Amino acid sequence: MDCERAVPSVTARAGTTVAELVVALALAGVVAGAAGHGLAQLLRDHHDRAAGAAATDAVQLARDVLRAELAHADANIRVLGDTAVQLASLRLVSPACDASGDRLVMPATTPAWSVPRAGDSIGVADTTLSQWRTTLVSVVTERPSAACPSGGRRLLLASAPPAAALPRLLPARVWRVARYVLYRAGDGSWWMGERSCTPACSSAQPITGPLLAPAQGGLRMSLLLGAGGQPVALDVTVRARFANRGAQLSARLPLATSR
């Protein structure tokens, strides 16, 4: 009889253990589900913040590039439609430390806000106060020498300067004619790019994007004219969207000639 009464007691204890295990598993499922939902929300928030930051970076870069160009541009600026602007901006001004035929070496100590490159224009005001000009065929870094102790940039010119232009005494000016434009890439996205337009405009090189399409105001520009009818600033609006996050920036960028 004692043994017979002991069997239900063991069974009861086993049943209680299984019930506890079922409850524990259910609670673990609830906790895991809550953790999974929290992790998914955390990932969504992270992606949203990253998309918003990328959109903000895209529109700010467009503004900063245009601002830097306009700070060195002359007054001959043209807005083409409302999605492109063409301008000529100065790269450097300096006498050459060495000159030989169609080669000039500009000292490395010469401040240049943007390194000259092939296709840029160069001009020297000669002794008759007129300006001789040509284009750069290539730009190569030059090692220090007796004529240029700090080294420099050797510019190969499309033609040699005349005798009246003395680049070792008179400052040479290097500038670039460029067009900044909203263009469509091969994958269908829209970007702001640069086209070098010396002497003819090349294909666009990407700068920032993707931006919104022209119909959605991805890049819009208009000139602000002063009292004399001369351009004094460029009004720019840039819009971008990454995933479901967008950014927009509007700025009035003054021209160097208006300062």
- Among the candidates 124, 145, 170, a domain finishes at 170
Q: Domain check: are 188 and 250 in the same one?
A: yes
Residue 50, token pair as written in the block = 């990253």
Residue 50, pLDDT above cutoff 90: no
Could you give the angle at the alpha carbon of 249 between the alpha carbons of 236 and 44, nearest 5°? 150
Domain boundary (170, 200, 228) is at 170
**Domain contains 17:** no
Q: Which of 170, 198, 225 is the last residue of a domain?
A: 170
Rounded-to-integer distance, Cα 105 and Cα 167, Å: 10
Name the domain count of the chain.
2
Q: Indicate if 76 and 129 belong to the same structural domain.
A: no
User: pTM for this one?
Assistant: 0.74
Question: Do 188 and 247 fall within a single domain?
Answer: yes
Domain around 182? 52-87+177-258
Lowest mean pLDDT among 63-72, 78-87, 155-164, 205-214: 155-164
- pLDDT per position as a tens digit, 173-187: 999 999 999 999 999
Has residue 141 been placed in a domain?
A: yes
Query: Do 148 and 252 belong together in one domain?
Result: no
CA distances from 234 to 87, 190, 192 (A): 11, 21, 16
Model confidence band, residue 46 (pLDDT cutoffs 50, 70, 90): low
Whether 12 is in a domain gets the answer no
Q: pLDDT tens digits, residue range 110-131?
A: 888 788 989 899 988 765 556 7
Q: Residue 195: which region, alpha, beta or left (left: phi > 0; alpha: psi -120 to 50)? A: beta
Residues facing residue 27 across a β-bridge: none
